[in-house]
Amino acid sequence: MSGIDDGQISNRSGNEDIHEVIEKRLSRRSFLGGAAATVAAASLGNITSLLAAVPDAADHVRKSTLLGFHGIPVSTADALIVPKGYSARVLIAWGDPVSNGPSFKPDASNTADEQAQQWGMHNDGFVYFPINGSVRGLIVQNNEYTDDVLLFPDGVANWNVAKTFKSQNAHGVSIIEVRKQGKGPAGRGGLWQVIRPSKYARRITGRTPINIGGPVAGDPRMKTSADTSGTMALGTINNCAMGLTPWGTYLTCEENFNGYFRKSAERSPMEVRYGISSNAHYLWYTTDTRFDADIEPNEANRFGWIVEIDPFDPGSTPVKRTALGRFKHEGAKVQEARDGRVVVYSGDDEQFEYIFKYVSRLPWRQARRQGINPLDDGTLYVAKFHSTGKGEWLPLTPDNEALSGWTLSDVLINTRAAADLAGATAMDRPEWIDTFPGSLTAIATLTNNTSRGTEGTNPRTGRSNPGVDAANPRARNAHGQLIRWNYAKDWTENTFRWDLFSLAGDMAAAAADGSNIDGDIYSSPDGIYVAPSGRLWIQTDVSGSSINPEKRSATYAAFGNNQMLCADVKTKETKRFLVGPNTSEITGVFVTPDERTMFVGIQHPGESPIGSNDPSNPKRYSSWPEGKKGGRPRSALVVINKDDGGVIGS
Ligand code: FEO
Ligand code: CA
Ligand code: CA
């Protein structure tokens, strides 16, 4: 990556952290004397009210030169909307063939075998891998989950083994080859198309053989009746966000794997900690005993990992990289350190879960020369955010005193419990993480968490709710925040400084909830992406049930449909660039190296209401992308160009 790379907390000498900013603002306010300021600074739950008292917007004149487009208003239309001067087109949608293969049948009657040759359902994070710069490449995209009501003509009725297989085949990862056809730059006559056939096109599904690599391979807890060696899993599921390694491979992250398993017998503490229960979200277990945890108790241990895929070798077997730990991985941001090692950031997306960092033992080039995968040999850490604005990475290793008696495999399989013991900071649902390489700064989204201030035991975790802290300052956090951290010398350091980039929400309610967005408002940030130019793209995921057109939640009414915004991290201004169709989530964004083409993922338009099994019902909410024709709503990958062929966002 090149360009501005400006995360804005790198300059230790000049930059203020949020606490300093608050103190300065307090000192300008005569009604808050020194004693009150000290109390306020010590009680970090009060950050909210302090920010509310002095919103950022009042403090500077708009000066961003990065955000050249006209921001668009919120929308509740069943349409994909981009700014004037831009065009957005569907490149591929659920059910389209990835190469030469069967076409999508609008009544959803494609078979399981056909689905295995088609773009999976509900696409999420992805990467564009250039083959020829900004005009031809591979797109590798996750297919996070299925809406089984929409996946079949009769929804989940009459469930059978063929339905399980089709649902599994609609999961995983889809690989396509794309190129810009025609003369002229993208947006000026050049049109992006999927190349069919392509030797690279491939589906990896919930049924594809995948090696288990790293320290946990062969551990007794990884063995099942179908794989007595504990080294070969079948499939990858709930693939949320992703990563890209410096050696050109793709990482796909298994997030909410627990929902596929059913355990009716008494649960182990680890099953409780990971949310495996009698309440399976899918019916797979009824026909596939792998997902019946009463019969195959170890199968669930083979999910919750980060999986490495070589998209340029279609015959290669993907590998679960167990040294990165097992939890509900949102994504995997790989950053090369100045000393040549790789650092991998990954959030565990659930209320009160953690942010992790992995550091390879060797510089990645040296490791690969020695035949060692850099993701198989390293140390996993978990983040502790101190109220002072400093933070530390706590090692999850057997020599950590807090983990006395634990083996490395214990830590890697039961990573959540290890992080509990180590004393990590429980966060407001960590989602995506990206980096500003030039300033040694990382940034993460914490999407929301309305349970933090609830007194008593959290029924999900079995633990007491921790209450607010400096990094998670809102007791009823409906809108989420972005948090940054940076290092003095290198990404591999064990200590850092941090601040809150923004507290999301509706500025009209800022006095009540502390929101401090300067510009266009958003709620529930999820996907984030730092483009080569330094533009920070922010995608939102207000839960589909909260923005259902028939019962839109008052809490989220001001935000309309889910959206994507662009922020200038120097000025902190935010502008809305895209709004999605009804009940969709915007997830996944990547630009070509010249930044003149942007690909964006639209996920779950017309999402089925929870508990419904009426396949016609979602169509009442959305028929995107078919539109007025009233077609079945389909997740899709969209390509965006500027009409004048310019840089996206300029
Ligand atoms: Fe798959 Fe946390 O979003
Ligand atoms: Ca997400
Ligand atoms: Ca989310």
DSSP tag of 353: E
Q: What is the pLDDT of residue 545?
A: 87
Q: 126 alpha carbon to ligand 1 midpoint, in Å? A: 13
Q: Is residue 55 predicted with pLDDT exceeding 80?
A: no
Q: Is the minimum distance from the CB of 292 to ligand 1 under 6 angstroms?
A: no
Nearest-CA neighbor of 353 among 388, 376, 322, 382? 382
pLDDT value of residue 457: 81
Residue 16: what pLDDT? 37
Q: How far apart are CA 250 and CA 230, in angstroms?
A: 23
Ligand 2 midpoint to CA 532 (Å): 22
Give the separation between CA 611 and CA 281, rounded to whole angstroms. 10
Place of tokens 């050049």: 190
Region 37-56: what's the mean pLDDT? 34
pLDDT tens readout for residues 547-597: 998 889 999 999 999 999 999 999 999 999 999 999 999 999 999 999 999
What's the pLDDT score for residue 34? 30
Q: What H or E segment, with its residue span, contains residue 496?
A: strand 495-503
pLDDT of res. 62? 64
Q: Is the CB of 431 under 6 A from ligand 1?
A: yes
150-208 tens-digit pLDDT: 999 999 999 999 999 999 999 999 999 999 998 767 767 679 999 999 999 999 999 99
83-99: burial string, b at 16+ Cβ within 10 Å, e else: beebebebbbbbbbbbb
Token digits for 383? Answer: 């983040």
Q: What is the DSSP string of 316-337?
A: PPPEEEGGG--S-B---EEEE-
The pLDDT of residue 591 is: 98
Query: In percent, how much of the chain has pLDDT > 90?
Result: 81
Residues 6+ apart with CB under 8 A from 34: none
| For the CA of 349, the nearest atom of ligand 1 | 2
Q: For ligand 1, is residue 242 a contact (CB within 6 Å)?
A: no
Instruction: Compute CA 226 distance to the chain's CA centroid, rounded to the nearest angstrom.
Output: 31
pLDDT of residue 58: 38
* Nearest-10 Cα torsion for 448, 450, 456, 457: -50
Residue 48: both structure tokens together:
């909210």
pLDDT confidence of residue 5? 60
Nearest to 428 by CA among 399, 453, 457: 453
| pLDDT computed for residue 244 by the predictor | 98
Q: Which residue has the higher pLDDT, 444 or 608?
A: 444
11-18 contacts at long range (C-beta below 8 A, 24 or more positions apart) = 11/439, 12/488, 12/497, 17/389, 17/497, 17/498, 17/499, 18/47, 18/389, 18/499, 18/500
pTM here?
A: 0.91
Angle formed at CA 98 by CA 94 and CA 99, multiple of 5 degrees? 150
Q: Measured in angstroms, how far is the CA atom of residue 526 from the centroid of ligand 2?
A: 5
Cα separation, 134 vs 186, whole angstroms: 9
Q: Does residue 49 carry a pLDDT above 80?
A: no
Amino acid in the structure at residue 265: A
Query: How much is the pLDDT for 618?
Result: 72
CB distance 78 to ligand 1 below 6 Å: no
> Which structure tokens are listed for 362?
């060797």
| pLDDT interval class at 463 (50, 70, 90) | confident
pLDDT digits (tens, 9 = 90+) for 80-105: 999 999 999 999 999 999 999 999 99
pLDDT at residue 33, rounded to an integer: 28
Q: Are 565 and 536 in contact (CB under 8 A)?
A: no
Mean pLDDT, residues 282-295 taken together: 98
Whole-number Å distance, alpha carbon 585 to ligand 3 midpoint, is 8
Instruction: Give the Cβ contact number of residue 7 at 10 Å.
Output: 26
**144 C-beta closer than 6 A to ligand 1:** yes
- 197: cis peptide before it, omega within 30°? yes
Among 233-242, 243-252, 623-632, name the one with the lowest average pLDDT. Answer: 623-632
pLDDT by residue (tens digit) across 263-288?
999 999 999 999 999 999 999 999 99
- Distance from residue 479's CA to the centre of ligand 3 (Å): 12
Cis peptide bond N-terminal to 73, omega within 30: no
What are 465's two structure tokens? Answer: 């709710």
**Strand pairing report for 536-540 and 481-486:** unpaired
Mean pLDDT across the chain: 90
**β pairing state of 430-436 and 427-428:** unpaired
Confidence of residue 7 (pLDDT cuts 50, 70, 90): low
> What phi and psi, each to the nearest 5 degrees, are found at residue 524?
55, 60
- Identify the band that residue 629 occupies on the pLDDT scale cut at 50, 70 and 90: low
Structure-token pair, residue 332: 């995997």
| Banded pLDDT at 369 (limits 50, 70, 90) | very high
Q: Report the distance separating Cα 181 and Cα 453, nearest Å.
A: 54
